[in-house]
A and B are shown apart, each in its own frame.
Chain A
């Protein structure tokens, strides 16, 4: 072999050796595939869409749960030192009983496509979690990366210990899919295992007929249509009350906010986007006599004869509240699998 030939051979061997070294450095110790998790929910719930690139796994859900409760999630910005659970208490169906503000509950969001009161984020749970990770909590992944346990937890859930905002969001999305509330007394009624009282049944008639017309925006079984509605809280809209208009710029969306699920509604006071109502009785009274007209008032709030209020009797208002109370899922708020892992 000539000198050139020898040189070529040497370069080739060195190149192959370098490639081998690099690959070995990138590969992590093999880890068993994450364990698939089958989510349980009633037959009458809509079929759940789970992104193919983020299937539910035992390890992914456990990781998301830990992140949800860990204040390490936010070490920067205005929410430093707080976690999701700082404003979402399990005992209150993952919202907070704080007069003067209203936090949407973390309940059955797996079936939601619009998020936050104004609909600032739409899409999948991965999309809203990406917003929470990058914009709301300003998660510093280097903090999680330096943690003694998180890299291994990510490796077990996603096969890699390098933590990225995308993976943090995916783990949280898995956890949110796990937060299913479907064992209320009303669910028992639908499953023919529970009976409702006469008052509750009359409240159901108010809810599911034009007498109360609750069902158009809070239809069964999710008790929300995932839409945005101006329900006549105001006739003049301050900056804080503009709602979906903030997102669309469409005057027809002024004062329209996301219809929250009414599941566990008795546990999630105060009510409305600004927490203006302290009790369910006040909420029902609003619909019965307090709706304010505006150009963007939802058409569903206008009744035959262009009347905007329901004018319910005292008895029917009480029955409606009694029916709303049947949406409370005590299993959900007492489920230790949903509680803090710390």
Chain B
């Protein structure tokens, strides 16, 4: 007949040994921990749509152009590219080539990688695509890009901007379609607004004030130009007006 005691004691010794070894190994590990390097900062590019300070809301007939016309926005699609962050000495400190397609789903965020921390005097960007990409087939064949195609008989390439909606004409609410394409109408946006990128991760925020499209230097009257595609005059006005339509900030 075997006594149960030796069996139980052996189990106990095994458990005690395991606990001791475990504690010892934990201690050793923490003693040997090297200094963990900080991961590199990751920056994002955030695009926001505003109308004179308020977040843009689709299909709301409550925006007013510089010329006094009430309007709504029902569709917004565009590209931005060639984002240049200007250093304090006036030279380009960082360039974000893009292009980025932005749909009308509100805020859009893209991952950029790491931007240089420091003070910047402002930024610049294209509302649209640079000429080397603005050719038929110049962008990857995504569903978004094919829907932005500018037909070959009209010059090829892509729509830079589609801004559509309705406006109050006094007797009805007809539609408007502000479409811009063709490299001659590529808007060069200048943002003369200092900002600072601090160390660590954060987002560079570009805010598109849609009402600026109708403001300066051309006071755009939707009643006189509700459909821009194919009109050199109207696309030229929209290009010029877009030059100051963006603002910038850095959000740590």
Contacts and interface: CB of A to CB of B under 8 A. Distances in A.
A300 B163 CA distance: 11
Nearest to B178: A299
Interface in B142-164: 142-143, 145-147, 149, 151-154, 164
Interface stretch (B20-28, B94-102, B225-233): B225-233
B166 A295 contact: yes
Interface in B40-80: 58-59, 72, 74-75
Given A209-B151, A295-B166, A302 B2 contact: no
Interface string A42-62: 011111000000000000000
A284 to B, nearest CB: 18
Nearest to B154: A209
A225 interface: yes
Interface stretch (B82-90, B111-119, B167-175, B242-250): B167-175
A4 B72 CA distance: 82
Q: Which secondary structure dominates chain A's binding surface?
A: loop
A275 interface: no
A204 B227 CA distance: 21
Interface in A1-15: 1-2, 4-5
A297 interface: yes
Nearest to B1: A2
B164 A300 contact: yes
Contacts of A305: 226
A165 interface: no
A221 B142 CA distance: 11
B172 A293 contact: yes
B164 A46 contact: no
A298 B137 contact: no
Contact of B153 (A46, A209, A297): A209
Contacts, number: 89
B141 A44 contact: yes
A299 B176 contact: yes
B151 A2 contact: no
A250 interface: yes
A5 B226 CA distance: 91
A295 B142 CA distance: 32
Among A210, A299, A304, the one with the most B-chain Cβ atoms within 10 Å of its Cβ is A299
A215 B151 contact: yes
A67 interface: no
Nearest to A222: B146
A1 B4 CA distance: 8
Interface in A248-293: 250-252, 293
Chain B interface residue number, banded:
35 or more
Contact of B142 (A46, A219, A298): A46
Nearest to B162: A216
B165 interface: yes
A111 B75 contact: no
Contacts of A43: 141
Nearest to B175: A299
Contacts of A1: 2
B247 to A, nearest CB: 27
A210 B174 CA distance: 18
A171 interface: no
A247 interface: no
A61 to B, nearest CB: 23
Nearest to B164: A299
A300 B226 contact: no
B9 interface: no
Contacts of B230: 209-210
A160 interface: no
Contacts of A306: 169, 174, 223, 226
Contacts of A303: 227
Given A5-B4, A208-B154, A302-B177, 12 more contacts: A43-B141, A45-B141, A204-B153, A208-B152, A210-B229, A220-B146, A222-B146, A225-B147, A226-B143, A299-B165, A299-B176, A302-B176
Interface of A: 1-2, 4-5, 43-47, 111, 113, 204-205, 208-210, 215, 219-222, 225-226, 250-252, 293, 295, 297-306
27 contacts: A46-B141, A46-B143, A47-B141, A47-B142, A204-B153, A205-B153, A208-B152, A208-B153, A209-B154, A210-B230, A220-B149, A226-B147, A250-B59, A252-B74, A297-B175, A298-B175, A299-B75, A299-B164, A299-B165, A299-B166, A299-B177, A300-B175, A302-B177, A303-B227, A304-B226, A306-B174, A306-B226
Interface of B: 2, 4, 7, 58-59, 72, 74-75, 137, 140-143, 145-147, 149, 151-154, 164-166, 169, 172-177, 223, 225-227, 229-231
